Structure 1
Amino acid sequence: MRQFTAVVNPTAGGSTGAAALLQVARLLREAGAGLETEYSRSLSHAQDLARRAGEQGRVVLAVGGDGMAGGIGGALSGTGTVLGLVPAGRGNDFARALRLPPGAADLARVLLENEPRQVDTIEVESAVHPRTVVLGSVYAGVDALANRHANQARVLRGAASYYAGGLRAVTSWRPASYRVTVDGEEHLHRGYTVVAANSAYYGSGRIIAPAARVDDGVLDVVMIREAPRRLFFALMNELKTGSHIDRPEVEILTGREIRIEADRPVPYGADGEVEAVLPVTARVRPGDLAVLA
């Protein structure tokens, strides 16, 4: 029977991290599994707790949102430790990519019975972050600014906070000139954003890269070109279904190493947590993390 250590972000989703674990924890214990719970004071503290549990041969449960999943998953990448997720944040996008069920009983069954699956991770390198490993995506441009606004929201939650953050960001955004190098080939791009995606989802269920798969060994690079603001608002709505990729303003490439630069200090983000400015390099690490999915 598996032995779990749950690492909880107590403020996830507006202080629902611990509450999200309660029912799942009861079901795990009733099935005979061992479960220890650790509460994190910060993301770096959560990563330390996760590494320590992994060294003891325990399955690590990341209880929180995408920042918690990405931070802990990144810390465990390449170690052989098995990761499980108990989604409790505003976005929960990597949980979507793993197709985790929403109900506690079904999620507990996945954690107890499913065999680990090897998925890719993303190594992120910049001047501010010499080496960070994340799970979902690296995004540079208006969406990084939108994510910052969403994280600062005090009233709105979930998809509403991301949508409001996106509206606020677009109204003040000026298109940037990017140089995007994909596996050594340079692409010039002027527009709103460049996303290097391991997962199809970001921004609380928005399908930024419909063809992206977490175990295909490549990153999908989505570039949205300069367009009138009214068209970009339409594109934002189309992210709900992924139909934006059919527009001529959207270009998609794939590669293993992506370098993103710009003509001004454009912000970038990763998994809702890492925040800095370009340039940044994202490299796929194929099959580097074992997850219960």
Structure 2
Amino acid sequence: MKRSNILFIINPISGGKDKLKIPALIDLHLDRSRFNANYRVTEYSGHAAAIVEETANLNFDIIVAVGGDGTINEIGAKVMEQNKVLGIIPYGSGNGLARFLKIPMNTLKALEVINQCHITKIDTATFNDKVYFNMAGMGFDAHISAIFAGNKKRGLSGYLKLGLKEMLNYEPATYTIVVDGKTFTRKAFVVSIANSSQYGNNAHISPLASVSDGLLDVCIIKNFPLYRIPVLAFYMLTAKTHRSDMVEIIQGKDIHISRPTAAAIHIDGEPFLMGKEIAVSIQPLSLKVIVP
């Protein structure tokens, strides 16, 4: 049987987790009767995407992202362009897409998913022409992502501490949101455009979302008093957010958002600065990915 060539691209800083032993684990547990393995380690932001471009003509059938949602985004966008297959070994802070796709957080179990090599197609989306796979949005979560990007203490605990501190002074904005031609005006704490159901760490913003239904979920977290934070957290962590009076979810394919000023946005957890006008659209079943 012809063996497939796999390139593992390892982000050494994602999730604040040590990955020095990853190549040795792969060498021990990858099915060598089916695969030839190669490795590259990223050295700077954007390097993962550059590696995929550099290796476009080197006959890799599968490219595996070893990292979090940001690493998956960089690699997946290029894999999609080249019509190759994406694999995932989750090593991020939240691992939203991997969790949604039921890819194990345990490295050896994730490698077993690679060994089985069951390939499916999922929807992708564009956010002002930037591709994303899991979640993109604006508001408080984007504000926190922008600040957190410069925080040397990565991980969930650092993110939560920063969030609680910033929440005290954050002022929600008013957004005009057009979904498939229908207009909504909302004052919102967060506006997230969900492809999958969750941000990561099993915090679900749109529990009924699907990556294969050809639809995006516009999730509006309304302005709310701070004492209700535990209630919102409960709904998210129990995947019942769609039942909360603090959250409104509108499904659609083509979305346009206007906001008062240019500000931070996030795309698969990575922060960017964008202008007042945001256009979002879906590309159904456009990425091939290995899942259980």
TM superposition score normalised by structure 1? 0.90
Identity %: 25
Extract unaligned runs of 5+ from structure 2.
none
* CA distance 1:103–1:231, change in 2 (3 Å): closer
* CA distance 1:260–1:97, change in 2 (3 Å): same
Q: How far apart in 1 are the matches of 2:19 and 2:270?
A: 17
- Taking the TM superposition and a 5 Å limit, the aligned residue runs for 1:1-293 are 1-28=3-30, 30-31=32-33, 33-55=35-57, 56-125=59-128, 131-155=129-153, 157=155, 159-277=156-274, 278-293=276-291
User: What amino acid maps onto 1:177 in structure 2?
Assistant: T
Please, what is the CA RMSD of the aligned residues?
2.1
Q: How far apart in 2 are the matches of 1:280 and 1:17?
A: 36
1:22 Cα deviation from its structure 2 partner: 3.5
Q: Return the structure number with greater helix share.
A: 1
- CA deviations 1:244-274 (Å, max 9, x no partner) are 3322231111111222221233421111124
1:26 Cα deviation from its structure 2 partner: 2.4
Q: How far apart in 2 are the matches of 1:232 and 1:61?
A: 37
1:20 Cα deviation from its structure 2 partner: 4.0
Kindly tell me the number of residue pairs found equivalent between the two proteins: 287
- CA deviations 1:149-203 (Å, max 9, x no partner) are 443443462x323322321232121121001111122110012011100011114
1:215 Cα deviation from its structure 2 partner: 1.3
Q: Aligned to 1:172, what secondary structure does the other structure show?
A: coil
* CA distance 1:106–1:15, change in 2 (3 Å): closer
**Matched-pair contact (CA < 8 Å) for 1:77–1:121:** no
Q: How far apart in 2 are the matches of 1:267 and 1:274?
A: 7
- Find runs of 4+ consecutive structure 1 residues off by over 4 angstroms: 29-32
User: What amino acid maps onto 1:45 in structure 2?
Assistant: H
Q: How far apart in 2 are the matches of 1:246 and 1:165?
A: 27
**Matched-pair contact (CA < 8 Å) for 1:77–1:133:** no
1:78 Cα deviation from its structure 2 partner: 4.3
1:221 Cα deviation from its structure 2 partner: 0.9
**Matched-pair contact (CA < 8 Å) for 1:219–1:255:** yes
**Matched-pair contact (CA < 8 Å) for 2:93–2:154:** no
